[in-house]
Amino acid sequence: MTETVKDLLNNETKIMEIAKTAFESVDTDNSGEIDLPELEQVMAQLAHEMEADMPSKEDVKEVFELLDVDKSGTIDFGEFTKLIKDLVAEIALIEEEGKF
């Protein structure tokens, strides 16, 4: 595991800063929540940038339902932060296994 990812895993403040910046870039209407159209937009943008197939509406809805833990119909900052933490932990695990 690189020192950067290892340090990041133990730095709650830094993870919160990263989550806040990412959340604000997805929350395009500045409502404080991410709705289905906003998630669809960011997933389409990422697919385009990665030259991957565009996600289907069903794919977007599935991801949205996984992230919307409290089933409120929106993804709040807490739910989004959990995603960021999970992604960092997954990257750390992949690095530790030497696959990244």
For 10-68, write each residue's pLDDT tens digit: 888 999 999 999 999 999 999 999 999 999 999 999 999 999 999 999 999 999 999 99
Structural domain of 71: 3-96
End-to-end CA distance of the chain: 9
Q: Extract the tokens encoding 61.
A: 């809805």
* pLDDT value for 48: 94
Question: How many domains does one find in the chain?
Answer: 1
Domain containing residue 19: CATH number? 1.10.238.10
* pLDDT value for 96: 78
Closest C-alpha to 18, from 28, 30, 29, 7: 7
Whether the per-residue pLDDT at 97 is higher than 90: the answer is no
What is the reported pTM?
A: 0.82
Confidence of residue 99 (pLDDT cuts 50, 70, 90): low
Give 7: exposed, middle or buried? Use CB within 10 Å, 0-12, 13-18, 19+. Answer: exposed
